[in-house]
Structure formats: C-alpha cells, structure tokens
C-alpha cells in the first residue's frame, strides 16, 4: 500500500518577523495546516522562511507516518513557489556537500543549518518511499501563503 502526502509550503518575513507554514492534502481527508514562527536569531530572511517551511513539512511527514496503522510506502510531494528553495533541496546541496558547505564565492552556505536538518529528515523519508519537490505558481500555493500571511498579521 502507498500513502500519498502532498504538502504545500510557504515562508515569508515582514517587519523583522518570519513564519513558515504548510498545508497537508491527503486523499479522502480534510487538509491539515500548520505554521511555525522563525527565531529572531539568526535574523529571519525570505529564503530562511521558505527553507524552514520545507524542513517543517518533512518533520510533519515523519510525524504523520508514525501515526499510520500499517507500514505503507510513502509518496511525498512538496510543492513550493520558491524556485530557489526547490533548487537548494534538489540540485545545489550536492555541490555544497562536496565543497564542505562552501558556495561558489568560498563563503559558508547561507541557511546551511536548515538545509542540513531538512536533508536529514528527507533521507529518513526515503527509507519508506519517495520525496519529490515541485515548483508551483503563487496561485497554486495560495492556501499555504494565506496561513503565513494570517500569522504574520497577528505578530
């Protein structure tokens, strides 16, 4: 049996605050939303918020899997409207790992801590199935963006 998990993620910053959020969409079940504020240190950035949203999605996938009655294979798709975050998780990390987490200019990769935590979780998910990342339009990611904006409005 295969259990599909579709997660739409978004992160944003406003006024020195940052929020990462996601919306889980399961077949035959209502969606589950979640959000998490970013810590003040290091200072929140748009990219850090987007990557944190991916990290949280993977953490939630692992938590959801632990609740399942059986031991199904997972088919996880993470949707993001950030091509940069997508590329960090699908292309760039391989070069960065080989280069000791240095970018093309020789500096340490920004948000390395978030990327490494997300990759660690992703590798656990791969033990039970697949993970793929897809870039979607802002319109297709409207639910996750709405959660982020609502929480930023409350801050």
pLDDT of residue 145: 93
Q: How far apart are CA 8 and CA 135, in angstroms?
A: 10
Contact predicate 89/144, CB 8 Å? no
Question: What whole-number distance in Å separates Cα of residue 9 and Cα of residue 56?
Answer: 9
The tokens for 93 are: 């990390």
Three-state secondary structure call for residue 50:
helix
Residue 40, pLDDT score: 92
Residue whose token pair is 């990557």: 51
Instruction: Please state which CATH class domain 2-154 belongs to.
Output: alpha beta
Query: Between the CA of residue 16 and those of 44, 110, 111, 146, what are the distances in Å?
Result: 7, 18, 17, 19
pLDDT digits (tens, 9 = 90+) for 89-141: 999 999 999 999 999 999 999 999 999 999 999 999 999 999 999 999 999 99
- For the whole model, what pTM was predicted? 0.94
Helix (H), strand (E) at residue 47: helix 46-67
Checking if the pLDDT of 59 tops 90, the result is yes
* CA 60 – CA 65 distance, rounded (Å): 8
Q: Where are the domains of the chain?
A: 2-154
Residue 87 in this model has a pLDDT that exceeds 90: yes
The predicted structure's pLDDT at residue 72 = 86
What's the pLDDT score for residue 88? 97
Give residue 147's pLDDT: 92
Query: Encoding tokens for residue 130?
Result: 């697949």
Q: Taking Cα atoms as reference points, which of 137, 95, 99, 93 lies closest to residue 117?
A: 93
């Amino acid at each position: 049996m295969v259990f599909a998990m579709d997660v739409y993620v978004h992160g944003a910053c406003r006024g020195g605050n940052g929020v990462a959020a996601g919306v889980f969409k399961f077949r035959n079940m209502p969606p589950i939303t979640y959000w998490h504020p970013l810590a003040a240190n290091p200072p929140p950035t748009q990219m850090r918020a987007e990557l944190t949203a991916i990290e949280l999605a993977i953490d939630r996938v692992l938590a959801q899997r632990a609740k399942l009655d059986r031991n199904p294979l997972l088919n996880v798709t993470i949707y993001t409207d950030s091509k940069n975050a997508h590329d960090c998780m699908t292309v760039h990390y391989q070069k960065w790992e080989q280069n000791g987490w240095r970018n093309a200019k020789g500096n340490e990769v920004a948000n390395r801590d978030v990327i490494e935590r997300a990759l660690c979780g992703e590798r656990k998910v791969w033990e039970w199935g697949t993970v793929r990342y897809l870039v979607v339009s802002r319109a297709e990611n409207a639910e996750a963006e709405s959660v982020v904006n609502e929480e930023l409005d409350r801050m």
